[in-house]
Amino acid sequence: MNLPRSSYYYRPTSSDSSPEQQALIDRIEGLAEEFPRYGYRKVTAQLHREGLLVNHKKIQRIMRERGLGVKKRRRFVRTTDSHHPYPVYPNLIKHQVMTGINQVWVADLTYIRITMAFVYLAVILDLYSRKAIGYALSDQINTDLSLTALQMALQRRDPPRGVIHHSDRGVQYAAHEYIDVLRAHLFRISMSRKGNP
């Protein structure tokens, strides 16, 4: 036929613009949204069950181009270690009604996911105003992290005698170093019961 060999291998570049192709892409996106744990194999199997006979390599390419890969499960990070030899204090805020600032300070730890790891955040809030009055970030979860947040709160507020400091039973808040600072500033120490943050 006197055609160049490349004509045989030619593929149009705008194949995604046909209505059939767009319908397939929409269905793949719908499946990926409905089943975030589905990879290209399961999406292909589902499309076959629906009567759409499409090559798995095409499904894989479409999913890769549109960032429709399997969503990774988030790993649970434990921030409270209540198995320690330190004393545990009673809950003093169970039925407490706040009428002003510097009556109850609450402290807690959490984690923040960054690209390759976690960082830990210690925060102290004034329970009445819900304002963060002390905080600290670290790549290690330890007593120094919670102490840094407490020192910031003490510098910002200069609390009066008898403020209740409430936290969970974690080792970071029950350690002697932390309790000694609270006692030096005449705090009343309060902790939630086990399993009740």
Alpha-carbon distance 168 to 82, whole Å?
Answer: 8
Q: What ranges in 10-164 are assigned the alpha helix state H?
A: 19-34, 40-49, 56-65, 143-157
Same domain membership, residue 174 and residue 124: yes
Residue 132: which CATH number?
A: 3.30.420.10
- Contact between residue 162 and residue 186 where contact means Cβ atoms under 8 Å apart: yes
Model pTM score: 0.58
Task: Kindly report the average pLDDT of the chain as a whole number.
Answer: 86
Same domain membership, residue 121 and residue 44: no
SS3 state at 30:
helix
User: Six-digit token pair at 30?
Assistant: 């719908």
* 72 falls within a domain: no
* 154 falls within a domain: yes
- Residue 177's domain comprises 104-191
Put residue 102 in one of left, alpha, beta given phi > 0 → left and psi -120 to 50 → alpha.
left
**pLDDT for 93-150, tens place per residue?**
988 888 999 999 999 999 888 877 889 999 999 999 999 999 999 998 889 999 999 9
Same domain membership, residue 108 and residue 184: yes
Collect all residues with Cβ–Cβ distance below 8 Å to 157 and sequence separation of at least 6. 102, 126, 133
- Does residue 83 carry a pLDDT above 80? no
Q: Strand 104-113's sheet: what is its strand order?
A: 131-138, 118-126, 104-113, 164-167, 188-191
Same domain membership, residue 119 and residue 60: no
- Contact between residue 145 and residue 120 where contact means Cβ atoms under 8 Å apart: yes
* 53 falls within a domain: yes
> pLDDT higher for 83 or 147?
147
- Does residue 76 carry a pLDDT above 60? no
Collect all residues with Cβ–Cβ distance below 8 Å to 154 and sequence separation of at least 6. 134, 181, 185
Same domain membership, residue 187 and residue 115: yes
pLDDT of amino acid 73? 62
* 33 falls within a domain: yes
* 78 falls within a domain: no
* 84 falls within a domain: no
Total domain count, the chain: 2
